[in-house]
Amino acid sequence: MIQADNPEEYIYIGVGSNIEPEINIPKSLHELKKYLDILNISPVFITPPIGVSKKQPDFFNCIVETKLIEEMTPIDLKFNVLRNIEKQLKRVRSIDKYAPRTIDLDILLFRDTIINSEDFVIPDPDIFSRDFLFAGLLYLNPNLIIYPKNLPLLSFVSCYEIHKLKINCNLTKKLWKEFLHEY
């Protein structure tokens, strides 16, 4: 893990894939490194697809703790950086928001910014409804305080079933070695 000087400057990006995740997640992180310093990466959680009626592969999900290399707004990051990386990795957006995808990049937290517009919400409200997002943030910073809960994540552990989450140890180890220079 790389230590940054000011945790209030951190940006947390959710990264997920269920089409060749062992290839697409590392590729997406290489692209992210052009715009963000990667400070830490949560374990990679294996989760079943949400809201689907037809069979599709499980998702591999992790959270990346980052800091901007050059200043940009959350809107610039989402629409000019993350969406472009998704396009590069052949992400197809369709009416079905739960369709399989090569890569899914979401801003979970952008410093202490709060945005509540029709097509963009920060902090991402899914943090408190998806165990793997909560667990990933908990791993990275258990004392993180997120609006609107306004208490440290650690104080909500009993509300989640994080003990049931599966971790892909091989991909986690690969990402840590490649991007954090651990192992």
Q: Is residue 121 part of a domain?
A: yes
Alpha carbon separation from 15 to 42, 73, 134, 155 (Å, rounded): 10, 19, 13, 25
pLDDT above 70: residue 157: yes
Residue type, 115: I
- What CATH number is attached to the domain comprising 134? 3.30.70.560
Write out the two tokens for 75: 């809107």
Q: Is 174 exposed, middle or buried (0-12, 13-18, 19+ CB in 10 A)?
A: middle
pLDDT above 90: residue 27: yes
Q: What's residue 22's pLDDT?
A: 98
Q: How wide is the angle at C-alpha 114 spanned by C-alphas 64 and 41, nearest 5°?
A: 5
Contact 107, 13 (CB under 8 A): yes
Q: Is residue 39 part of a domain?
A: yes
* Host H or E run for residue 5: none
Q: What's residue 7's pLDDT?
A: 59
Q: What's residue 3's pLDDT?
A: 42
Alpha carbon separation from 78 to 8, 29, 32, 92, 176 (Å, rounded): 19, 15, 12, 16, 24
Q: Is residue 1 part of a domain?
A: no
Q: What is the mean pLDDT of residues 67-75?
A: 94
Write out the two tokens for 145: 């305080």
Q: What is the mean pLDDT of residues 28-53?
A: 92
pTM of the model: 0.92
Which residue stretches of 12-167 are H helix?
21-32, 74-76, 83-88, 131-140
Q: Is residue 2 part of a domain?
A: no
pLDDT above 90: residue 82: yes
pLDDT higher for 2 or 88? 88
Write out the two tokens for 147: 């609006």
pLDDT bin (cut points 50, 70, 90) of residue 2 is very low
pLDDT above 70: residue 171: yes
Q: How far apart are CA 127 and CA 133, in angstroms?
A: 5
pLDDT bin (cut points 50, 70, 90) of residue 1 is very low
Contact 178, 56 (CB under 8 A): no
Q: Is residue 160 part of a domain?
A: yes
Q: How many domains does the chain have?
A: 1
pLDDT above 50: residue 4: no
Q: Is residue 143 part of a domain?
A: yes
pLDDT digits (tens, 9 = 90+) for 102-156: 999 999 999 989 999 988 899 999 999 999 999 999 999 998 988 888 888 888 8
pLDDT above 70: residue 24: yes
Instruction: Provide the annotated active-site residues.
Output: 91, 101, 104, 106
Contact 141, 134 (CB under 8 A): no
Q: How far apart are CA 48 and CA 46, in angstroms?
A: 7
Q: Is residue 149 part of a domain?
A: yes
Residue range of the domain that includes 167: 7-180
